Amino acid sequence: MNPQMTEPGARMAGEDNTRPDGPAPHDDDELLAALFERSQAAPDEPDPELLQLRPRINWLRPFLMIAVIAFSALILQKFRPELEYFFSPAEPIALGDATDFPTRAQTEPGWTPDLQHNRFVSLAGIPSRRTISCSPPTRYFKLVGSHLYVEEPLSDVENALECEKSKKDPLGEDIDFFAGQGRLLSMDRVGVRYDGLKDFYEAKFGELFCDRLTPAKEQKRLEDLRQILRGHLTEKFKRPPTDAELEEALKKERVCHNAWVVLADRPPATYWPYVALAAFLALISLWNVAMLIRWSIRTAQALKS
């Protein structure tokens, strides 16, 4: 017998027309349609497993941002005098010749020099009691007739010469005349910045600053003043003064003085690096403030969900 020939694609009698692993190929469209309908049945329904997850919040981040803001504010506060000086008038206050201060105070009752803290000034005078600081290279001196001290930077060449002289003569020679401009500061308002300078002038020249006055220093200064005044009054009256005359003269004398320092050759425009730093810190602070607000909003939304 010849076996019965079948056409290609024809099924043998009794052959199962279903696949053991799923529906027939012609059912794929129906399956896809069913899956699509199921997915569209509740498109906004959250996954129960996701609901059980708590939002992860980085609680350290806001503290870091607050720390950056606080640090920037601290630096800006520290440099506040320099920033104020930069924005002060560029025209200097003319103080005149410091040598004339005592004469004007005697001839013009109530007159005092126009000394303003942290302002740009111009002045002149005869330097005295000079000293040198070799690191950084700076020359200090006091103007005759006033309690104005000058801090003058030195060039490299001047520093080498002056420092060599200071080793041989610590007090040095006074220069003939000074005329210049600079930043005027009250020593009482700059903290411990000039404590070293005050120590030097108090030890070497007997200067007594009011912010460093102690009862012991005051008593010693009064005793020294009594001795000096007793000699002057004896010469004036041709006899020893009485206690009342001596005490009356003593009332007119100052036991201590408030000192001022002029930072020579430092107009307001030279403090622009402080402004640049302040602008940089301000931008950093503003950025951190914005990030902190954004973090707060997102965290509140996360906690509500």
pLDDT tens per residue across span 174-196: 567 899 999 999 998 988 889 98
Give me the residues paired with residue 260 across strands: 148, 186
Query: Do the Cβ atoms of 31 and 23 come closer than 8 Å?
Result: yes
Least confident of 150-159, 223-232, 257-266: 150-159
- Kindly give the residue spans of alpha helices, DSSP state H, lying in 206-255: 215-237, 243-251
pLDDT tens across 245-295, in order?
A: 888 888 888 888 889 999 999 999 999 999 999 999 999 999 999 999 999
Mean pLDDT, residues 237-247 taken together: 88
Neighbours of 60 (CB within 10 A): 8
Angle, helices 60-78 vs 272-304, to 10°: value is 160
Residues 6+ away with beta carbon under 8 Å from 170: 131
At 138, give phi and psi (nearest 5°): -145, 145
Confidence of residue 73 (pLDDT cuts 50, 70, 90): very high
With tokens 């006091």, the residue in question is 142
Range scoring the smallest mean pLDDT among 25-39, 70-84, 228-242, 261-275:
25-39
Contact predicate 209/258, CB 8 Å: yes
Provide the pLDDT for residue 130: 86
- Give pTM, 2 decimals: 0.71
Residue 61 has pLDDT above 50, yes or no: yes
Instruction: Give the whole-angstrom CA distance, residue 99 versus residue 278.
Output: 39
CA distances in angstroms from 97 to 118, 128, 145, 153, listed in the order given: 20, 14, 9, 21
**155 has pLDDT over 60:** yes
